[in-house]
């Protein structure tokens, strides 16, 4: 009989234990579900505290999290207190909670009113600052006035302390010893959820920082691009202004790096061109300064366009005078340079005729006439000047001779030296003129006048012969000895034909 009773008691105990285990598994499952359904650390902590009250009757509890310094625990959430105390700090190793954090072991305290040390720990104010600075703000750790017992459980993840779960009660025993294991499991489960939530929060903060940095970088790049564009536009505008002070060849050579901006010269075979407006001094006295400036600018602009077209390097303008040379910084060879120079001068004279007519229509009766001189020789060319200011130019006796040729030239004519003549005679028809004496030359210099291109001269010298009843015309330029007499004769014939036409019309 006694054996049967004992068996029944044992069976009841086993059934009770089994029921307890089942409830524990269900509880673990429920808590796990609740705390893992969110990544909000505050919501996880508050959910855990509410479940502890629901299943174990913990009316006053809190969760504290170990900070990054691992020297303090910060109150994350509280349950059942008049003041939540969120933000209060507990130093590791101080008080019940601090000792649990230090030892990573559960602590159970009873008869708390008889332990003054505990009351001092509860009332301790913990500074919300670091580095042992002067107190600026304090938060009181929550605590019951008539507390009888307390249990503090370390919240761990893989033996690493995450925080502490603390429960206070006005009763002597907060919970049975059998519940310690399940509560520890639940605390660690919550620690895992909190750690994952913290990692997620850190990741979100990092992503936000990256997005902010990306936005700032994009703004910086945009501003940088704008500044680069503005600076580039400024440099382009500056380069355009600088280009007006250099010939295109010199400008390109400097900015491409082919020409060093240092005092440096060399001897080269060049063809030098000089031009000057005849009677310009008189023109300056007759015209208003504004009109004179416009006239001279128009003339020099047109001449510069032609010089650039033929590859000439414009050295300088001296009032109405102009110095151009061929052969540096780029060259097509001495013969081609000389031919280009003479072709340029020939086109300039044609263009000057158009300018003369245009300004005559605008009331400038004083005609513009230019004298031009060309000479080919070896000259010194390069950067001359001081360390602070340089002038890219050409010097030498060859330059002086070109200037003398210009001063001895007739109006709207091109006078060249024998050296140039030998280089261009195959392409240009030339007429020998008188020799001139030039300082620096021990011999008289032969000069030649450019008549025109040989191709155009051939067409010009073609004979013309026409016959019809009452009229016979025979013209041979090569045999004609007196052009003026021929012009007068043809003019008389034209006048006679006009009179004959009118007579027949009125008859």
What is the pLDDT at residue 449? 95
User: Rounded distance, CA 123 to CA 146, Å?
Assistant: 13
**Dihedral sign from CA coordinates of 179, 182, 188, 192:** negative
pLDDT at 133 (0 to 100): 42
Q: How far apart are the C-alpha atoms of 35 and 48, rounded to whole Å?
A: 7
Question: Which of 44-53, 184-193, 295-304, 467-476 has the least mean pLDDT?
Answer: 467-476
Nearest to 417 by CA among 440, 444, 394: 444
pLDDT above 70 for 55: yes
263-460: in CATH 3.30.70.1230 = yes
**Mean pLDDT in residue range 255-276:** 77
Asked if the domains 11-204 and 263-460 are classified in one and the same CATH topology, the answer is no
Q: How large is the average pLDDT for residues 236-252?
A: 65
Nearest Cα to Cα of residue 102 among 64, 61, 58: 64
Query: Which helix (H) or strand (E) is 168 found in, with range?
Result: strand 160-169
Q: Residue 412's pLDDT is what?
A: 92
Say which residues have a Cβ less than 8 Å from residue 50's Cβ, sequence separation at least 6.
79
Report the pLDDT value the prediction gives residue 340, as an integer from 0 to 100.
Answer: 95
Q: Name residues whose C-beta falls within 8 Å of residue 410's C-beta, 6 or more positions apart in sequence.
A: 371, 449
Percent of the chain with pLDDT over 70: 82
CA quadruple 432, 438, 440, 441: dihedral sign: positive
**Three-class SS state of 252:** helix
Confidence (pLDDT) at 249: 60
Query: What is residue 335's predicted lDDT score, i.e. its pLDDT?
Result: 94
Domains of the chain by residue range: 11-204, 263-460, 465-506
For residue 252, the model assigns a pLDDT of 65
- Kindly state the tokens that stand for 237: 């505008």
Q: What does the pLDDT average to over 485-506? A: 82
pLDDT digits (tens, 9 = 90+) for 365-424: 777 789 999 999 999 988 887 777 777 789 989 999 999 999 999 999 999 999 999 999
- pLDDT of 236: 76
**Distance (Å, whole) CA 314 – CA 392:** 10
DSSP 411-440: TTEEEEEHHHHHHHTTTEEEEEEEEE--TT
Out of 3.30.450.40, 3.40.1190.20, 3.40.50.300, 3.40.190.150, the CATH code matching 11-204 is 3.30.450.40
Residue holding tokens 């303008």?
A: 317
442 contacts 433 by C-beta, under 8 angstroms: no
Question: To the nearest 10°, the Cα dihedral for 78, 81, 83, 85?
Answer: -30
Percent of the chain with pLDDT over 90: 25
User: Residue 24: pLDDT band by 50, 70, 90 thresholds?
Assistant: low
Whether residue 98 has pLDDT greater than 70:
yes
d(CA 417, CA 435): 9
Determine the pLDDT at residue 241: 67
Average pLDDT, the chain: 81
Dihedral (C-alpha) 286, 290, 293, 299: value to the nearest 10 degrees?
Answer: -80
DSSP code for 114: G
Residue 378: per-residue pLDDT: 93
Better pLDDT: 80 or 8: 80
Confidence band of 199 (pLDDT split at 50, 70, 90): confident
Nearest-angstrom CA–CA distance, 52 and 182: 11
**Helix extents (H) in 41-88:** 41-56
pLDDT of residue 45: 86
Tokens found for residue 73: 């625990």
> Strands 369-385, 413-417: parallel, antiparallel or unpaired by DSSP?
parallel
Average pLDDT over residues 184-202: 84
The alpha carbons of the chain give a radius of gyration, in whole angstroms, of 55
Residues 282-314: pLDDT tens digits?
878 888 888 888 888 899 999 999 999 999 999
Residue 170 pLDDT class (50, 70, 90 cuts): confident
- pLDDT of 457 > 60? The answer is no
Beta bridge partners of 322: 275, 317
pLDDT at position 128: 42
- Neighbour-count burial of 216, counting CB atoms closer than 10 A to its CB (0-12 exposed, 13-18 middle, 19+ buried): exposed
The DSSP symbol for 12 reads H
Element (H, E) at 495: helix 483-506
The arithmetic mean of pLDDT across residues 125-144, rounded, is: 53
**What's the confidence (pLDDT) of residue 273?**
96
pLDDT above 60 for 115: no
Query: Which residues, other chains included, contact 495 with Cβ-Cβ below 8 Å and sequence gap of 6+?
Result: none
pLDDT at 261: 55
Residue environment code for 52-90, b if the CB has 16+ CB neighbours within 10 A, otherwise e:
beebbebbbbbbbbbeeeeebbbbbbbbbbeeebeebbb
Distances (CA, A) of 68 to 198, 317, 451: 12, 78, 98
**pLDDT tens-digit readout, 321-331:** 999 999 988 89
């Amino acid at each position: 009989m006694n054996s049967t009773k004992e068996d029944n008691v044992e069976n009841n105990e086993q059934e009770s234990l089994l029921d307890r285990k089942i409830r524990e598994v269900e509880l673990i499952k429920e808590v796990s579900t609740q705390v893992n359904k969110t990544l909000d650390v505050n919501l996880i902590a508050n959910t855990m505290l509410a479940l502890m009250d629901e299943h174990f009757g913990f009316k006053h509890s809190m969760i504290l999290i170990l900070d990054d310094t691992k020297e303090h625990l910060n109150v994350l959430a509280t349950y059942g207190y008049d003041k939540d105390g969120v933000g209060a700090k507990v130093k590791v190793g101080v008080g019940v909670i601090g000792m649990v954090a230090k030892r990573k072991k559960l602590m159970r305290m009873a008869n708390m009113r008889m332990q003054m040390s505990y009351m001092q720990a509860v009332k301790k104010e913990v500074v919300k600052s670091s580095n042992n600075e002067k107190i600026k703000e304090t938060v009181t750790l929550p605590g019951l006035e008539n507390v009888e017992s307390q249990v503090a459980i370390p919240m761990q993840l893989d033996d690493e302390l995450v925080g502490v779960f603390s429960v206070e009660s006005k009763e002597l025993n907060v919970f049975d010893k059998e519940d310690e294991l399940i509560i520890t499991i639940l605390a660690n489960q919550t620690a895992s959820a909190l750690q994952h939530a913290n990692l997620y929060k850190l990741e979100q903060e990092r992503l936000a920082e990256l997005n902010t940095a990306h936005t700032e970088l994009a703004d910086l790049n945009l501003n940088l691009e704008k500044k680069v564009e503005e600076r580039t536009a400024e440099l382009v505008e500056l380069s355009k202004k600088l280009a007006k002070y250099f010939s295109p060849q010199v400008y390109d050579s400097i900015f491409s790096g082919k020409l060093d901006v240092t005092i440096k010269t060399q001897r080269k075979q060049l063809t030098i061109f000089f031009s000057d407006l005849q009677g310009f001094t008189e023109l300056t006295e007759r015209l208003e300064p504004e009109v004179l400036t416009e006239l001279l600018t128009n003339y020099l602009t047109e001449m510069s366009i032609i010089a650039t077209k033929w590859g000439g390097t414009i050295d300088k303008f001296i009032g109405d005078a102009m110095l151009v040379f061929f052969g540096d910084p780029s060259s097509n060879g001495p013969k081609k340079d000389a031919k280009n120079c003479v072709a340029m001068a020939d086109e300039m004279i044609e263009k000057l005729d158009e300018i003369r007519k245009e300004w005559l229509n605008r009331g400038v009766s004083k005609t513009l006439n230019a004298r031009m001189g060309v000479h080919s020789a070896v000259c010194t060319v390069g950067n001359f000047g001081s360390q602070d200011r340089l002038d890219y130019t050409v010097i030498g006796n060859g330059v002086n001779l070109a200037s003398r040729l210009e001063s001895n030239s007739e109006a709207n004519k091109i006078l060249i030296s024998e050296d140039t003549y030998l280089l261009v005679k195959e392409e240009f028809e030339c007429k020998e003129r008188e020799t001139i004496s030039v300082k620096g030359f021990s011999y008289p210099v032969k000069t030649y006048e450019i008549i025109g291109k040989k191709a155009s001269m051939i067409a010009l010298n073609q004979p013309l012969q026409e016959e019809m009843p009452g009229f016979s015309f025979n013209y041979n330029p090569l045999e004609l000895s007196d052009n003026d007499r021929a012009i007068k004769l043809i003019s008389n014939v034209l006048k006679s034909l006009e009179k004959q036409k009118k007579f027949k019309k009125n008859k």
